[in-house]
């Protein structure tokens, strides 16, 4: 029996990298499997958002989940902080998570570099909490982008270690999942690496991006001085634009620009204009839906409370089993 679990940290608005890497799969999977999709607000404390921002970011992600088609009747949509059982499972996993293996995780090394004044223990044990998120519901499939592969490996390690230690088959082995053949990596607009909020505003196309800033951002995206010679390979920045086109443009349009590149007749300005138009068609329907849902406090409250109730029921069942295996017994 497959169970799907995934989450996203609330760090502001969702971008199309989050959509194609993760959320698009959520929408498909909710039709066929029990699904738990949450907002990882505990995880966001590893980078210390202010209390003033936290709630509005959570609200935004919840509204965006609903706007793109997640259905709270089908999937369980909840806030991580509404399910305190996850913190308990995290504590147990931490007892058997070793400093050496945690220090080797690339997201930890990256964060330690980018926030040298705040290398906190939560950052170090980020993959432990993530394993707890998944294994709390005995998740087997985890729809995430390519950057999360190593975290999934750790989740398998912690689950297997617990099984071995207590000689029980409590936890399955969760696998990263994408409907596409490979895990997705959506490039950003600034020319290097995956689209990411940490690369700055100009790198990201948000699901709720206003039409004028969408156009501006794409027209300003990095390119190069043109094909070096017919048949040469595009630079990373230009390849990124081709990759973005593949997500929202028709096959004919993509082929047209590929051929133009090969023949050395390409005009990057035209290509970007086309990409901006097709991207606008793609995201426009969401923009209004997101703002309508953001104003619907009743719907958001109902969604979060239904989700919390369903998620806690599943979590409580796992924790009862785990506590028994560890050896806790009640005196009363």
**Residues of the shown chain interacting with ligand TRP in the complex, contacts defined by CB under 6 A:** 5-9, 40, 43, 130, 133-134, 142, 144, 148, 151
Decide which of ligand ADP, ligand TRP, none touches 249; Cβ closer than 5 to 8 Å per partner kind: none
Closest approach, Cβ 322 to ligand ADP, in A, equals 26
| Closest CB 168 distance from ligand TRP, rounded Å | 22
Contact by Cβ (8 Å): 41, 84: no
Instruction: Give the C-alpha separation, 42 to 103, whole Å.
Output: 20
CA distance 233 to 182: 22
| Piece of the chain touching ligand ADP by CB under 6 A; list 19-27, 89-97, 158-166, 322-330 | 19-27
Catalytic residue check, 330:
no
Among 34, 49, 145, 159, binds ligand ADP (CB under 6 A): 145
190 is an interface residue for ligand ADP by CB under 6 A: no
The only residue of 59, 74, 161, 185 in contact with ligand ADP, by rule CB under 6 A: 185
Burial 164-201 (b: 16+ CB within 10 A, else e): eebeeeebbebebbbeeeebbebbbbbbeebbbbebee
Shortest Å distance, C-beta 9 to ligand TRP:
5
Binding mask 165-184 vs ligand ADP (x if CB under 6 A, - otherwise)?
-------------------x
Q: 138, 185, 194, 302: which one is catalytic?
A: 194
Give the C-alpha separation, 297 to 42, whole Å: 22
User: Which of 194, 217, 287, 312 touches ligand ADP (CB under 6 A)?
Assistant: 194
Given a contact cutoff of 8 angstroms between Cβ atoms, the answer to whether 158 and 128 are in contact is yes
Return d(Cα 154, Cα 131) in angstroms, integer.
7
Q: Which of 59, 74, 111, 138 is catalytic?
A: 111
Contacts of ligand ADP in 88-117 (CB under 6 A): none
Q: Does 147 bind ligand ADP (CB under 6 A)?
A: yes
Q: Give the nearest distance from C-beta 139 to ligand TRP in angstroms.
A: 7
Contact 206, 41 (CB under 8 A): no
Closest CA to 123 of 98, 105, 136: 105
* CA contacts within 13 A on the Cβ side of 42: 23
DSSP string, 241-293: HHHHHHHHS-HHHHHHHHHHHHHT---HHHHHHHHHHHHHHHHHHHHHHHHHH
CB 151 → ligand TRP: shortest distance, Å? 6
Question: What is the spatial distance between Cα 196 and Cα 175, in angstroms, rounded to a whole number?
Answer: 23
Closer to ligand TRP by Cβ: residue 77 or 214:
77
Asked about 194 being catalytic, the answer comes back as yes
CA–CA dist 222, 265 (Å, integer): 18
- Report if residue 186 touches ligand ADP, rule: CB under 6 A: yes
Residue 171 or 206 with smaller CB distance to ligand ADP: 206
Measured from the CB atom, the residue of 17 and 139 that comes closer to ligand ADP is 17
Closest CB to ligand ADP among 72 and 145?
A: 145
Residue 174 binds which entry of ligand TRP, ligand ADP, none, CB below 5-8 Å type-dependent: none
Structure tokens at 167: 């000689």
Binding site for ligand ADP (CB under 6 A): 8-9, 11, 17-18, 20-22, 144-145, 147-148, 184-186, 194-198
Annotated active-site positions, please?
111, 194, 197
């Amino acid at each position: 029996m497959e169970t799907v679990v995934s989450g996203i940290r609330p760090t502001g608005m969702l971008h199309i990298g989050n959509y194609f890497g993760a959320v698009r799969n959520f929408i498909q999977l909710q039709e066929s499997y029990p699904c738990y999709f949450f907002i990882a607000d505990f995880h966001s404390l590893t980078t210390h958002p202010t209390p003033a921002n936290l709630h509005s970011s959570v609200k935004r992600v919840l509204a965006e989940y609903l706007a793109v088609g997640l259905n709270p009747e089908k999937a369980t949509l909840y806030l991580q902080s509404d399910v305190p059982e996850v913190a308990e499972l995290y504590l147990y996993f931490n007892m058997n998570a070793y400093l050496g293996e945690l220090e080797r995780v690339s997201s930890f090394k990256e964060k330690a570099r980018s926030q040298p004044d705040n290398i906190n223990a939560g950052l170090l044990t980020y993959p432990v909490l993530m394993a707890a998120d998944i294994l709390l519901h005995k998740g087997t499939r985890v729809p995430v982008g390519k950057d999360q592969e190593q975290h999934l490996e750790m989740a398998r390690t912690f689950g297997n270690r617990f099984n071995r230690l207590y000689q029980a088959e409590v936890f399955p082995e969760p696998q990263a999942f994408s409907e596409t053949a490979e895990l997705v990596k959506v490039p950003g607009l600034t020319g290097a690496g995956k689209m990411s909020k940490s690369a700055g505003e100009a790198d990201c196309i948000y699901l709720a991006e206003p039409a004028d800033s969408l156009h501006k951002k794409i027209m300003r995206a990095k390119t190069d001085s043109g094909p070096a010679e017919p048949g040469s390979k595009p630079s990373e920045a230009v390849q990124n634009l081709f990759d973005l086109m593949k997500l929202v443009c028709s096959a004919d349009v993509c082929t047209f620009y590929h051929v133009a590149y090969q023949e050395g007749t390409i005009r990057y300005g035209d290509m970007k204009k086309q990409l901006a138009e097709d991207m606008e068609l793609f995201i426009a329907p969401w923009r209004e839906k997101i703002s309508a849902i953001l104003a619907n406090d009743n719907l958001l409250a109902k969604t979060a409370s239904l989700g919390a109730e369903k998620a806690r029921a599943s979590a409580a069942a796992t924790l009862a089993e785990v506590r028994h295996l560890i050896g806790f017994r009640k005196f009363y």
